[in-house]
Structure 1
Amino acid sequence: MKTLLQVDFPYQGPMGKEMVSQMRALAESINEEPGMVWKIWTQNEQTAEAGGIYLFEDEASARAYLEKHSARLAAWGIGPVNGKLFAVNGPLSTINRAPL
Protein backbone atom coordinates (compact mmCIF):
# COMPACT_ATOMS: atom_id res chain seq x y z
CA MET A 1 0.00 0.00 0.00
CA LYS A 2 1.32 3.46 -0.86
CA THR A 3 2.50 5.48 2.14
CA LEU A 4 2.56 9.22 2.64
CA LEU A 5 5.41 10.66 4.71
CA GLN A 6 5.00 14.12 6.23
CA VAL A 7 8.19 15.76 7.51
CA ASP A 8 8.83 19.15 9.07
CA PHE A 9 11.65 20.69 11.06
CA PRO A 10 12.96 24.09 12.19
CA TYR A 11 14.82 25.76 9.34
CA GLN A 12 16.30 29.26 9.17
CA GLY A 13 16.95 29.23 5.44
CA PRO A 14 17.77 29.72 2.73
CA MET A 15 14.28 29.75 1.24
CA GLY A 16 12.83 30.35 -2.22
CA LYS A 17 15.20 30.65 -5.18
CA GLU A 18 18.29 30.47 -2.98
CA MET A 19 17.01 27.20 -1.51
CA VAL A 20 16.53 25.84 -5.04
CA SER A 21 20.09 26.77 -5.92
CA GLN A 22 21.58 25.18 -2.80
CA MET A 23 19.36 22.08 -2.63
CA ARG A 24 19.17 21.04 -6.30
CA ALA A 25 21.64 18.16 -5.92
CA LEU A 26 19.80 16.90 -2.84
CA ALA A 27 16.47 17.08 -4.69
CA GLU A 28 17.91 15.10 -7.60
CA SER A 29 19.34 12.46 -5.24
CA ILE A 30 15.97 11.99 -3.53
CA ASN A 31 14.61 10.72 -6.86
CA GLU A 32 16.93 7.73 -6.47
CA GLU A 33 15.60 6.69 -3.05
CA PRO A 34 14.04 3.19 -3.07
CA GLY A 35 10.25 3.32 -3.31
CA MET A 36 10.03 7.12 -3.67
CA VAL A 37 7.23 8.21 -6.03
CA TRP A 38 7.24 12.00 -5.55
CA LYS A 39 8.00 14.79 -3.10
CA ILE A 40 6.50 18.22 -2.51
CA TRP A 41 8.98 20.58 -0.81
CA THR A 42 7.50 22.84 1.87
CA GLN A 43 8.78 26.05 3.47
CA ASN A 44 7.40 28.71 5.79
CA GLU A 45 9.59 31.78 6.33
CA GLN A 46 7.26 33.22 8.98
CA THR A 47 7.57 30.19 11.28
CA ALA A 48 11.13 29.25 10.17
CA GLU A 49 10.13 25.73 9.15
CA ALA A 50 10.71 23.52 6.14
CA GLY A 51 10.05 19.94 5.17
CA GLY A 52 8.18 17.91 2.64
CA ILE A 53 5.34 15.63 1.75
CA TYR A 54 6.47 12.39 0.11
CA LEU A 55 4.68 9.49 -1.50
CA PHE A 56 6.39 6.09 -1.24
CA GLU A 57 5.39 2.75 -2.74
CA ASP A 58 5.30 1.14 0.71
CA GLU A 59 5.73 1.79 4.43
CA ALA A 60 9.13 0.11 4.66
CA SER A 61 10.60 2.50 2.05
CA ALA A 62 9.07 5.51 3.80
CA ARG A 63 10.42 4.46 7.18
CA ALA A 64 13.90 3.83 5.77
CA TYR A 65 13.95 7.24 4.12
CA LEU A 66 12.73 9.01 7.28
CA GLU A 67 15.58 7.42 9.25
CA LYS A 68 18.16 8.39 6.62
CA HIS A 69 16.84 11.95 6.21
CA SER A 70 16.60 12.52 9.99
CA ALA A 71 20.25 11.48 10.37
CA ARG A 72 21.30 13.76 7.50
CA LEU A 73 19.47 16.74 9.03
CA ALA A 74 20.97 16.01 12.46
CA ALA A 75 24.44 16.02 10.89
CA TRP A 76 23.62 19.51 9.54
CA GLY A 77 22.59 20.62 13.03
CA ILE A 78 18.88 20.67 12.15
CA GLY A 79 16.27 19.21 14.46
CA PRO A 80 14.10 18.02 15.91
CA VAL A 81 12.61 16.31 12.86
CA ASN A 82 8.90 15.53 12.98
CA GLY A 83 7.94 12.63 10.75
CA LYS A 84 4.52 11.03 10.34
CA LEU A 85 3.51 8.10 8.16
CA PHE A 86 0.04 7.59 6.74
CA ALA A 87 -1.45 4.78 4.67
CA VAL A 88 -3.03 6.21 1.51
CA ASN A 89 -6.68 5.45 0.76
CA GLY A 90 -6.29 5.21 -3.01
CA PRO A 91 -9.95 5.02 -4.08
CA LEU A 92 -11.00 8.13 -2.13
CA SER A 93 -7.81 9.99 -3.04
CA THR A 94 -8.42 9.29 -6.73
CA ILE A 95 -11.88 10.87 -6.47
CA ASN A 96 -10.10 14.04 -5.34
CA ARG A 97 -7.54 13.93 -8.20
CA ALA A 98 -4.56 12.78 -6.13
CA PRO A 99 -1.51 12.06 -8.34
CA LEU A 100 -1.20 8.42 -7.34
Structure 2
Amino acid sequence: MAVILQITFKLSPAMLGENLIEPAMPLAQSITQEPGFISKIWTENPEQGEAGGIYLFDNRKSAQEYLDMHQKRMAQWGATDIDAKILDISQPLSKITAGPLATLF
Protein backbone atom coordinates (compact mmCIF):
# COMPACT_ATOMS: atom_id res chain seq x y z
CA MET A 1 0.00 0.00 0.00
CA ALA A 2 1.32 3.46 -0.92
CA VAL A 3 2.46 5.77 1.89
CA ILE A 4 3.45 9.40 2.30
CA LEU A 5 6.83 10.32 3.76
CA GLN A 6 6.74 13.87 5.09
CA ILE A 7 10.08 15.47 5.98
CA THR A 8 10.81 18.97 7.29
CA PHE A 9 14.07 20.42 8.55
CA LYS A 10 15.90 23.66 9.22
CA LEU A 11 18.42 24.84 6.65
CA SER A 12 20.19 28.15 6.20
CA PRO A 13 17.93 30.51 4.21
CA ALA A 14 20.99 31.25 2.06
CA MET A 15 20.82 27.66 0.78
CA LEU A 16 17.15 27.85 -0.25
CA GLY A 17 15.26 29.19 -3.26
CA GLU A 18 17.31 29.64 -6.39
CA ASN A 19 20.47 28.73 -4.44
CA LEU A 20 19.19 25.20 -3.84
CA ILE A 21 18.29 24.26 -7.41
CA GLU A 22 21.69 23.53 -8.93
CA PRO A 23 23.26 21.82 -5.89
CA ALA A 24 20.15 19.67 -5.44
CA MET A 25 19.93 18.47 -9.06
CA PRO A 26 22.03 15.32 -8.47
CA LEU A 27 19.97 14.61 -5.35
CA ALA A 28 16.71 15.00 -7.27
CA GLN A 29 17.94 12.64 -9.97
CA SER A 30 19.11 10.04 -7.45
CA ILE A 31 15.78 10.06 -5.59
CA THR A 32 14.03 8.86 -8.74
CA GLN A 33 16.12 5.66 -8.59
CA GLU A 34 15.15 4.75 -5.02
CA PRO A 35 13.19 1.50 -4.57
CA GLY A 36 9.47 2.13 -4.22
CA PHE A 37 9.73 5.84 -5.06
CA ILE A 38 6.78 7.33 -6.96
CA SER A 39 7.07 11.13 -6.58
CA LYS A 40 8.26 14.04 -4.47
CA ILE A 41 7.02 17.57 -3.94
CA TRP A 42 9.84 19.84 -2.78
CA THR A 43 8.85 22.30 -0.03
CA GLU A 44 10.52 25.33 1.49
CA ASN A 45 9.88 28.41 3.59
CA PRO A 46 12.94 30.65 3.16
CA GLU A 47 11.68 33.20 5.69
CA GLN A 48 11.74 30.52 8.40
CA GLY A 49 14.77 28.61 7.09
CA GLU A 50 12.68 25.48 6.58
CA ALA A 51 12.73 22.97 3.77
CA GLY A 52 11.63 19.43 3.12
CA GLY A 53 9.45 17.32 0.95
CA ILE A 54 6.37 15.22 0.59
CA TYR A 55 7.24 11.87 -0.94
CA LEU A 56 5.01 9.14 -2.25
CA PHE A 57 6.36 5.58 -1.96
CA ASP A 58 4.60 2.43 -3.05
CA ASN A 59 5.28 0.72 0.31
CA ARG A 60 6.22 1.52 3.91
CA LYS A 61 9.46 -0.53 3.89
CA SER A 62 10.92 1.47 1.00
CA ALA A 63 9.88 4.76 2.62
CA GLN A 64 11.55 3.78 5.90
CA GLU A 65 14.75 2.63 4.20
CA TYR A 66 14.92 5.87 2.23
CA LEU A 67 14.30 7.92 5.38
CA ASP A 68 17.05 6.13 7.30
CA MET A 69 19.55 6.90 4.53
CA HIS A 70 18.29 10.42 3.78
CA GLN A 71 18.44 11.66 7.38
CA LYS A 72 22.19 11.08 7.35
CA ARG A 73 22.52 12.84 4.00
CA MET A 74 20.47 15.85 5.21
CA ALA A 75 22.69 16.20 8.27
CA GLN A 76 25.74 16.31 5.97
CA TRP A 77 24.07 19.22 4.14
CA GLY A 78 23.79 21.06 7.47
CA ALA A 79 20.11 20.35 8.12
CA THR A 80 18.95 20.47 11.73
CA ASP A 81 15.66 19.83 13.54
CA ILE A 82 14.83 17.02 11.12
CA ASP A 83 11.25 15.85 11.54
CA ALA A 84 9.89 12.94 9.53
CA LYS A 85 6.67 10.94 9.46
CA ILE A 86 5.46 8.03 7.40
CA LEU A 87 1.71 8.28 6.94
CA ASP A 88 -0.87 5.89 5.54
CA ILE A 89 -3.13 7.19 2.79
CA SER A 90 -6.90 7.11 3.02
CA GLN A 91 -7.51 5.74 -0.44
CA PRO A 92 -11.31 6.21 -0.57
CA LEU A 93 -11.07 9.92 0.32
CA SER A 94 -7.96 10.49 -1.79
CA LYS A 95 -9.76 9.10 -4.84
CA ILE A 96 -12.24 11.94 -4.48
CA THR A 97 -9.67 14.73 -4.05
CA ALA A 98 -6.39 13.57 -5.60
CA GLY A 99 -6.82 14.53 -9.24
CA PRO A 100 -4.02 12.87 -11.22
CA LEU A 101 -2.92 10.71 -8.27
CA ALA A 102 -6.33 9.06 -8.11
CA THR A 103 -5.16 6.64 -10.81
CA LEU A 104 -2.66 5.17 -8.32
CA PHE A 105 -5.41 3.79 -6.11
Shared fold (TM-score greater than 0.5)? yes
1:5-84 counterparts in 2 under 5 A? 5-12=5-12, 13-84=14-85
Structure 2 unaligned residues grouped into runs of 5+? none
CA distance in 2, matches of 1:2, 1:35: 9
CA shift at 1:74, angstroms? 1.8
Q: Which amino acid aligns with 1:3?
A: V
The answer on whether the counterparts of 2:11 and 2:78 sit within 8 Å (CA) in structure 1 is no
CA distance in 2, matches of 1:87, 1:97: 15
Structure 1 unaligned residues grouped into runs of 5+? none
CA distance in 2, matches of 1:29, 1:10: 22
CA distance in 2, matches of 1:32, 1:93: 25
CA shift at 1:52, angstroms? 0.2
**What is the TM-score normalised by the length of structure 2?**
0.88
Asked if residue 90 in structure 1 is aligned to residue 91 in structure 2, the reply is yes
- 1:6-61 CA distance string (max 9 Å, x none): 00000114222221111111101000010010000000011100000000001101
CA shift at 1:77, angstroms? 3.0
- 1:44-91 CA distance string (max 9 Å, x none): 011100000000001101111111000111223322310011111122
Q: Which amino acid aligns with 1:8?
A: T
CA distance in 2, matches of 1:16, 1:45: 7
User: What root-mean-square deviation, in Å, do the aligned CA atoms of Structure 1 and Structure 2 show?
Assistant: 1.3
**What is the TM-score normalised by the length of structure 1?**
0.92
Poorly superposed stretches of 4+, deviation over 6 Å: none
CA distance in 1, matches of 2:19, 2:74: 18
